Structure 1
């Protein structure tokens, strides 16, 4: 069984402070992943993570997501990539320390975008690593773009691309970030209620009420995530997407298929 995980940038970094990783949370998530792998021997996992206060700060500063012309200064493109790699190294080292055979795979080396959308990515090494029971670790990254010069490809876009490959159809995708989808922004409205399940009956209302993100983020907020995951559950039969927070124990429970875990599940039915 294949499961994709995303460690959200807002969870593993302080998005209000440049390049501040939350080591304790990364370590906790790594340990819970290790426990789930020990409990379910048939579990194969791909880990993705956001860039948080690492890559997003540079991407915003230099407008990488809006595009660069060939004769522009591409230093910002390189700085964005370098920052994402620094966070990736931290995540991979914590996974390795937890006894997980994590393998860092930098997406931008083979990504190609068109108009801000991913159109090509060489995934042969990732698939081979998974076949060998390793845990590939990817991250949102810069990409060359045939239309606008440069783009940012989010972790969700990468996972969505992988999910459509016949050899990598996941049973679940677990997004660790906000503790679910709410009827309003719970930081602003104390009356906001968590939506436990998103399906055909309520998707329109959910998208109408979903808001943006907090802190610096050039890949969109909650609405874009829900929209993309909704499209994905329509495409991949039987796929369930869990949106959970970093509360201790939540990741392990979601990986093992405990549908009572606090959060929101998105299903196609």
Structure 2
């Protein structure tokens, strides 16, 4: 198999995160255009696409405490959360299919199990067969069965890192709603400065400077993303975090252009 690219675009991009289960049509159309263009120019390359739960997942997961580290949970809350996330996944897949982009939706709750929120079991056969047949496997943040806590939220970020290790990816790309990693929150602080590179030397300092997301995000926001990336065992490891709200940026990230923040760990 050709080396796999893993692209995860956040729920804060593809949904209106403060809305009620609402897709961001402008951002979704931009992603479709960029991926379709890149795929037409690179027919031999293979891609796995993921997104976060956004407004389809985080509010329900928070309301029903699906991600709480306890086994006492409401099964109907779990079902409402995962069903809504599946609905989002199929809406997005249909939009890509309407533009002849061969997205194959795979429900994470059907192929992953966790223990205390971390993946312990997986069935990657559907992903591998999809790639072998020229399709783009598409997964999303989901509520899954957990051995210790009954149910937990499995984030798109954790799945991205897991798949990157198991599939031997050469590229991990993360589309967010900001231009990369900043010294402060760029959405609230005009003095925030973009960090061009995160590596072994400045990782801890950068991590300590990050604050929690201002919106409801049960998976940890930017800080959680950086921690997930750093936890990947593969070395050397290079990732890109970029602004997927800007049309053309996803194409540039897939093409290897120098945008966003690069993370490099040896």
**Is it true that 1:161 corresponds to 2:159 in the alignment?**
no
Q: Which residue of 2 aligns with 1:6?
A: 8
Q: Secondary structure at the match of 1:147?
A: coil
The aligned counterpart of 1:193 is: 193
Measure the CA separation in 2 of the matches of 1:248 and 1:69.
43
CA distance in 1, matches of 2:187, 2:251: 26
The residue that corresponds to 1:254 in the other structure is 253
- Establish whether residue 268 from structure 1 lines up as the match of residue 251 from structure 2: no
Describe the superposition over 1:29-80 as per-residue Cα deviations: whole angstroms up to 9, x where unpaired: 011001111112231000001110011111000000005646x531110000
Asked whether the equivalents of residues 67 and 149 of structure 1 are also in contact (C-alpha less than 8 Å), the reply is no
Residue 65 of structure 1 aligns to a residue whose secondary structure is: coil
Measured in 1, the distance between the counterparts of 2:13 and 2:226 equals 18
* Deviant stretches of 4+, over 6 Å: none
5 Å matches for 1:176-191? 176-177=175-176, 178-191=178-191
How far apart, in 1, do the equivalents of 2:74 and 2:251 lie?
44
Aligned to 1:15: 17
How much has 1:238 moved relative to structure 2?
A: 4.4
2:100 & 2:237 partners in 1: Cα distance? 28
Scaled by the length of structure 1, what TM-score is found?
A: 0.93
In 1, distance between residues paired with 2:204 and 2:138? Answer: 33
Unaligned runs of 5+ in 2: none
* RMSD over equivalenced CA pairs, Å: 1.4
Q: TM-score, normalised by structure 2?
A: 0.94
Counterparts of 1:198-213 in structure 2, within 5 Å, are 198-213=198-213
> Partners of 1:231 and 1:54 in 2: how far apart?
27
Superposed counterparts of 1:88-167, under 5 Å: 88-165=89-166
Contact 1:180 1:264 in 2 (8 A): yes
Please state how far the C-alpha of 1:147 moved relative to its aligned partner: 1.0
Asked if 1:36 is matched to 2:31, the reply is: no
The aligned residue for residue 240 of structure 1 is: 238
**What is the CA-CA distance between 1:18 and the residue it aligns to?**
1.1
Aligned residue pairs total 262
- How far apart, CA to CA, are the structure 2 residues paired with 1:191 and 1:22? 28
Secondary structure in 1 aligned to 2:23? coil
